[in-house]
């Protein structure tokens, strides 16, 4: 019975990998015919990168003794802090966008 579960898990891993590759590669291949369609996604990626760099510069690199025992260094702490701050900013921006859209729809 264990062998069937192992085979099923491996098949699921392979199918998820194929789905991820298809979701990433096929839109890129389709947009190569129209390179102007790549500008907006590229600007979004650059914008998120800039936001992460700003968040990373604001994050602290303090590590307590318990984290040091676990192998966390100051640079890892700073990177995780930057990622968390970026996530917080994007979450708040999404909430503001949702509220603004709903208020805007109410007045139309």
Domain boundaries, the chain: 1-33, 35-108
Per-position DSSP letters for 34-92, written without gaps between them? SGGGGHHHHHHHHHHHHHHHHHHHHS-----HHHHHTT--HHHHHHHHHHHHHHHHHHH
| Per-residue pLDDT tens digits for 64-97 | 888 788 888 888 889 999 999 999 999 999 999 9
The reported pLDDT for the residue numbered 65 is: 81
Per the rule left: phi > 0, alpha: psi between -120 and 50, beta: everything else, 72 is beta
Residues 6+ apart with CB under 8 A from 48: 86, 90
| Per-residue pLDDT tens digits for 6-59 | 898 999 999 999 999 999 888 888 888 888 888 888 899 999 999 999 999 999
pTM above 0.75, yes or no: no
């Amino acid at each position: 019975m264990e062998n069937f579960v192992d085979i099923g898990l491996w098949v699921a891993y392979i199918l998820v990998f194929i789905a991820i590759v298809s979701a990433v590669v096929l839109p890129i291949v389709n947009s190569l015919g129209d390179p102007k369609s790549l500008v907006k996604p590229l600007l979004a990626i650059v914008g998120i990168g800039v936001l992460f760099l700003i968040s990373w510069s604001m994050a602290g690199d303090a590590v307590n003794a318990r984290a040091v025992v676990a192998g966390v260094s100051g640079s890892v702490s700073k990177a995780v802090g930057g990622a968390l701050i970026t996530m917080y900013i994007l979450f708040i921006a999404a909430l503001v966008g949702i509220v603004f859209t709903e208020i805007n729809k109410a007045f139309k």
